Amino acid sequence: MSTGAHVLAIEALGTFAKDLRLFANDAGGTMLRVEEDVRRTLNQLQQHVADCTRNREAVADDVESARHALTECEESDDLSCASERAEHRRAQVELQEAEEQLAEARRWFDRVQQIAQEYELEARRFALLLTEHTPKSCAFLQRRMEELERYAEGFASPGATFAPMGVTSEPSGGWAGATGSLAQQAQLAADRIRRIGQLQPERWAALGLDERMATLREVEAINAEAQGRTVVPLQSAPMPASVYGGYSERNHAITINSAHVQSNDVREVLDTILHEGRHAYQHYAIQHPGTHPDPAEVERWRDNFDNYLLPELYGQQVYESQPVEADARRYASEVISQCRKNPHAP
């Protein structure tokens, strides 16, 4: 491949990043205008409902006045009361029309309000995509441009050789035998976790919340040591039912759903702690180069965290298949699998 081809690739990435920023700005402006139009439409419909309500009340007063006039006429010596009856019927017809107009106005307001709420939900998701993921995507493209520039510079140097971008050379035996591989870490963790008697289902079921949290903190300490990282605080808190737990890079802490901790399914609880502990390791490896034996994988983790795919935006399947989530699930599954080789393991 010629240096010119590399230059074209760099220019293409730069153009794409520029267009992506322009799209985000244009889309953001369009969303603001749409929100203003929706808000104005709802205000107009609400005003129309108010006008129809006042009209209905006024017509109802007319009906009452006509009815009163007719009653007075019928109680007098004038037995015809034709004009009063006609006026009363006219007022009743107008009242029926006013009530129909009010009902129609309310139906339209309710329908448009429902559509507006549905739009607002989707708009919030899209706004999250624009505000959170666009800058991360642009940063990702910038790093790739810098890599290509370095690659192009090296390509022009006589005798220079390179691996494809994102791939690093490795010993002929591969990373599987390197110290600190996923399998080795999982084995180290499992060897000690399987000895924790409180993780046996019958003993776990008898533990209170504080005892369970103490047991899980012991698991985290063992897991951190096996991974060669710092132990992080573990806390419980109310969370949505669909969320078992999470690791916060900002707080350097694992939070587990308090309802999940109270579950007697100790395997699922253990899986959550191991899964989130793996995320703690991924961040630690990014921040401490050389911790993880595969630098290319660390770079993929970095890119993934910079462009994290939320399930509510991209769907569960895409969310679970991204590198950091697939790795965390694989690690937790491996530890539990090793633990289960012991008949008394959870």
- Map out the domains of the chain as residue ranges: 3-155, 175-339
Instruction: At 270, list the tokens.
Output: 């253990």
The dihedrals phi and psi of 253, each to the nearest 5 degrees, come to -145, 155
pLDDT, one tens digit per residue, over 177-203 is: 334 789 999 999 999 999 999 999 999
Across the strands, what pairs with 255? 235, 246
**DSSP state, residue 228:** T
C-beta separation of 123 from 31 below 8 A: yes
Dist CA 68 CA 87 (whole Å): 11
Who contacts 3 (Cβ-Cβ below 8 Å, separation ≥6)?
152, 155, 156
Rounded to an integer, what is the distance from CA 130 to the centroid of its chain? Answer: 13
Q: How far apart are the first and last CA of the chain?
A: 55
Q: What is the pLDDT of residue 51?
A: 94
For 143-161, the three-class secondary structure string (H helix, E strand, C coil) is HHHHHHHHHHHHHCCCCCC
Q: Which helix (H) or strand (E) holds 213?
A: helix 209-227
Q: Is 257 helix (H, G, I), strand (E, B) or coil?
A: strand
**Total residue count of the chain as it appears in this document:** 346
Exposure of 285 in the CB half-sphere (CA atoms within 13 A):
26
Who contacts 285 (Cβ-Cβ below 8 Å, separation ≥6)?
229, 291, 292, 298, 301
Across the strands, what pairs with 235? 255
Dist CA 54 CA 47 (whole Å): 11
Q: What is the pLDDT of residue 176?
A: 34
C-beta separation of 313 from 128 below 8 A: yes
Who contacts 254 (Cβ-Cβ below 8 Å, separation ≥6)?
220, 232, 233, 234, 235, 245, 246, 247, 248, 273, 276, 277, 280
**DSSP state, residue 194:** T
Across the strands, what pairs with 256? 236, 245
Query: Of the candidates 214, 204, 209, 187, which has an alpha carbon nearest to the alpha carbon of residue 339?
Result: 187
Pairing of strands 245-248, 253-257: antiparallel
Q: What is the pLDDT of residue 342?
A: 61
Amino acid of residue 259: A
pLDDT under 50: residue ranges of the chain: 1-6, 156-179
Across the strands, what pairs with 253? 248
Q: Is 79 helix (H, G, I), strand (E, B) or coil?
A: coil
pLDDT, one tens digit per residue, over 1-57 is: 444 444 566 677 777 777 777 777 777 778 788 888 888 888 999 999 999 999 999
Query: Of the candidates 263, 281, 265, which has an alpha carbon nearest to the alpha carbon of residue 336?
Result: 265
**Residue whose tokens read 């060669």:** 228
Exposure of 160 in the CB half-sphere (CA atoms within 13 A):
12
Domain 3-155 is found in CATH 1.10.760.10: no
Full DSSP string of 232-249:
--EEEE---TT--EEEET
- Beta-strand runs (E) in the chain: 234-237, 245-248, 253-257
Amino acid of residue 340: R
